[in-house]
Amino acid sequence: MEITTTGLGLAARVQQLTKTFGSGDGAVRALEDVSVGIRRGEFTAIMGPSGSGKSTLMHVMAGLDAATSGRAWIGDTEITGLGDRELTLLRRRRVGFVFQAFNLVPTLDVMGNIRLPFDLDGRAPSALEKARVERLIETLGLAQRLRHRPHELSGGQQQRVAIARALATAPDLVFADEPTGNLDSRSGREVLALLRAASAEHGQSIAMVTHDPVAASHADRVLFLGDGRLTADMPRQTAEQISAHMLAADAAGVAA
Amino acid sequence: MGASIVVAAISSAFGAVLIITITFLGAMLRANPFLGGSHTLAFVLSFIGFVLAGVAVYVGAIVTANTFATIVAGRTRRIALMRLIGATAQSQRREVASQGLIVGAIGAVAGLLAGTGVGAIGTQVAQRMLHLDGLSFALVQPLLLLPAVAVTLTTWAAAWVGSRPVLTVTPLEALGGSVSASRAEIALRRGRHLAAVALFIVGGMLLALGVAVGLYSPLGVVVAFGGGILSFTGLALGSTLVMPPALRLVGRMFGGSAAATMASQNALRYPERSSRMTIGVVMGVTLVTMFAVATACMKAIMAAAAGGRMPPPMASVMDSFANIMMGLVGVSAVIAAVGLVNLLTIGIVQRRRELGLLRALGLSSGQIRQMVLLEAAHITVTALISGLVLGSLYGWVAAQSLLGSVSAHAGGTAGAGLVAPVIPLVPVLVVAGATGILTLVAAAVPTRLATRVSPVEALAG
């Protein structure tokens, strides 16, 4: 009997994951034999320079892209080889997304954007879910802005709406792709603090892809990727330690 | 670009076919013992012919202007780059507009040849079927060039108008993305809206006057015709005033599902584009309905005047005339369909990022299909309802102003010489059905584009 993902205390994992783009001479190996799990209730940062494969890893783990070989799970559901419809439903109900930009639907107001996963499912939120949404709106300071459209909000406010939407369904895992990339430092720090609180106080599993050492210093665990491989797996680090590690890895890469 | 050539070709071919048809009908009527020698009929025929050709060219112009506006939208990066390097905005605009001239010329010539060919075959077939061999009429005449020239010029003008947004592209856009503000542009259209309202009111008054005059003389139809042109031009000019509320109303009809909400919001995101496209379809529906209702009302009037029943030969001539006209008008519906496909496709291309986001969040392909279909239906249903209402009104006014004197003599069926409007069921159903088919066909290609959007590509790009 195979041990389950949740049995391992993981929210999502991949096993011997390889992802190749293109074929023949022009083939690019974005990921090479990666095996790693995102622990439940933890805020994990996935770091690496450009071209390290960190975004590709996130795409496959989130069910946005298919692996070339290897296996992947979200919760106890194996997503390897799932069809488009099942993946779509899975993402809708069990994964939350916060992107760097273009997070919100411009034609819907804040409330409409937060409730989008429920509306896509064609159902009204249950009493429990409604209570959760109310609490999120309070905590994220969006109560005065519910009827506003995205273009009437600042970048930081838009990210907060995206976070509210991502957390509303209490998903197995929240994927954040460079969530502070487009923000000024103050808004960025707010967003990171919110993500950390969601993880620490409410047990939400979060995986954040970033190249920014300051952002990664907010995480409980930092995974390093380089040239498509997992190069390091460390507990909470300061920004200086992360920077040093990245510079060292870069130098080693140049020397190699 | 291909769409514009197709539209220009259709308009030009339509114009050519119309002229040939009118000439043929004229010759046919002259040979008819019943109606031969009626100058009024010949005059009315030519008049209507010009109107129909004008409508086709007008709808074609709207579609072309829209097409070029969207071409410009797609080329913003390239235009911005040229501006950055040092090209003037005017030169960039001229480049786009001159493509309009070429496109118009190619389409017009192609259409002229195709239309003449169709007309030649059609008249041969008609002659055989109606046993009118030996009918004397000239197939090729200088007048045939008129639609082609008109189409070329209007296509050029439409491209000129549609390329105006080139002037607003800043060199800075080459260096970074920018989001267009759509509602802001509308606020600057005050002058146009005032003119539209004025035209509409004056047109409306002329229509009423035409009805009044019609009670004494058939010349009332000329007054009413002027009123019709003015009021409809006012409506077309003021489409951004009138259409968005109508679109919003129809949107509510579609229910509250996620796909429906987003679909109805999308039509309103660029109110100018959507309004112009809707008006294009409205024109087609209005004309067909107008002919159907006018014919039905005229038959009612003449039946009342003849003491209950219309003489069958007269009725059949009127019916076949009306059917031919409705068929010809259907061509503008085809042009509008091309424009609708364009509009939907551009909307999807410009919304790649948003669609990628929605796919990531869990919008299924089925829901995407629903969304695109509802977006198309939004426009066509609004156009259908508006067109049916307008067409019935215009049709009744046409009949009333033309034959009001006849009706007055016979006492009229609605008192004071007025006849109650008669709205024939079959043509209305056919129009509704055709609109439904138009919606399905127009949504097909954009749907395929939308479902092919991969979240990874759309969000990264």
B180 interface with A at CB cutoff 8 Å: no
Among candidate residues B140, B170, B200, the one where a domain is terminated: B170
Q: Packing angle between helix A155-168 and helix A127-139, nearest 10 degrees?
A: 160
B455: closest CA among A104, A65, A90? A65
B178 in any annotated domain: no
Specify whether B216 is located in the same domain as B355.
yes
Q: What is the pLDDT of residues B320-334, one digit of tens each?
A: 777 777 776 777 777
Closest residue, chain A, to B367 (C-alpha): A120
CA distance A238 to chain B (A): 29
For chain A, the residues whose C-beta falls within 8 A of a C-beta of chain B are: 55, 59, 62, 64-65, 84-85, 88-89, 91-93, 97, 99, 102-108, 112, 116-117, 119-122, 151, 165
Neighbours of B442 (CB within 10 A): 28
Highest mean pLDDT: which range of B21-25, B212-216, B444-448: B444-448
Whether residue B460 is predicted with pLDDT greater than 50 in this model: the reply is: yes
CA distance B356 to chain A (A): 10
Determine whether the interchain pair A117/B361 forms a contact, defined as Cβ–Cβ distance below 8 Å.
yes
Torsion on CA atoms B124, B128, B129, B132, rounded to nearest 10 = 100
User: pLDDT at position A14, please?
Assistant: 94
Specify whether B166 is located in the same domain as B202.
no
Specify whether B205 is located in the same domain as B117.
no
User: pLDDT at position B215, please?
Assistant: 81
Q: Which residues in chain B are contacts of A151 at CB distance < 8 A? A: 179
Q: For A42-64+84-255, CATH number?
A: 3.40.50.300
Specify whether B292 is located in the same domain as B164.
no
Tell me which DSSP letter residue A220 carries.
S
B182 in any annotated domain: no
B180 in any annotated domain: no
User: pLDDT at position B225, please?
Assistant: 81
B253 in any annotated domain: yes
B350 interface with A at CB cutoff 8 Å: no
For residues B170 and B82, give the distance between their C-alpha atoms in angstroms, rounded to a whole number: 10
Contact B155, B100 (CB under 8 A): yes
CA distance B158 to chain A (A): 30
The count of structural domains within chain B is: 2
Pull the structure tokens for residue B229. 């042109």
Specify whether B103 is located in the same domain as B147.
yes
B394: closest CA among B207, B243, B246, B230? B207
Specify whether B455 is located in the same domain as B319.
yes
Q: What are phi and psi of B249, to 5 degrees?
A: -60, -45
Q: What is the pLDDT of residues A157-181, one digit of tens each?
A: 999 999 999 999 999 999 999 999 8
Q: For A13-31, what is the mean pLDDT?
A: 89
Where do the structural domains in chain A lie, given as residue ranges? 42-64+84-255
Q: What is the pLDDT of residues B64-83, one digit of tens each?
A: 776 777 677 667 777 877 87
A86, A90, A100, A105: best to mutate for the B interface, most B CBs within 10 A:
A105
Specify whether B379 is located in the same domain as B447.
yes
Closest residue, chain A, to B368 (C-alpha): A120
User: pLDDT at position B167, please?
Assistant: 77
Tell me which DSSP letter residue A236 carries.
S
Q: What is the ipTM of this complex?
A: 0.87
Torsion on CA atoms A246, A247, A251, A252, rounded to nearest 10 = -30
Among candidate residues B122, B138, B170, the one where a domain is terminated: B170
Where is average pLDDT lowest: A110-124, B55-69, B281-295? B55-69
B362 in any annotated domain: yes
Q: Which domain holds residue B42?
A: 1-170
CA-based R_g, chain B, Å = 24
Specify whether B87 is located in the same domain as B153.
yes
As a three-state string, the secondary structure of B152-205 is HHHHHHHHHHHCHHHHHCCHHHHCCCCCCCHHHHHHHHHHHHHHHHHHHHHHHH
B442: closest CA among B334, B366, B368? B334
* pTM of this structure: 0.78
In a 13 Å sphere around the CA of A81, the CA atoms on its Cβ side amount to: 4
Specify whether B152 is located in the same domain as B260.
no
Q: What is the pLDDT of residues B72-117, one digit of tens each?
A: 766 777 787 787 777 888 888 888 888 888 988 998 999 889 888 8
B371 interface with A at CB cutoff 8 Å: no
B183, B264, B361: best to mutate for the A interface, most A CBs within 10 A:
B361
Determine whether the interchain pair B358/A105 forms a contact, defined as Cβ–Cβ distance below 8 Å.
yes
Determine whether the interchain pair B359/A88 forms a contact, defined as Cβ–Cβ distance below 8 Å.
yes
Q: What are phi and psi of A104, to 5 degrees?
A: -115, 155
Torsion on CA atoms B393, B399, B401, B406, rounded to nearest 10 = -140
Top pLDDT among B84 and A126 is at: A126
Specify whether B123 is located in the same domain as B200.
no
Specify whether B121 is located in the same domain as B205.
no
Specify whether B152 is located in the same domain as B202.
no
B176 in any annotated domain: no
B460 interface with A at CB cutoff 8 Å: yes
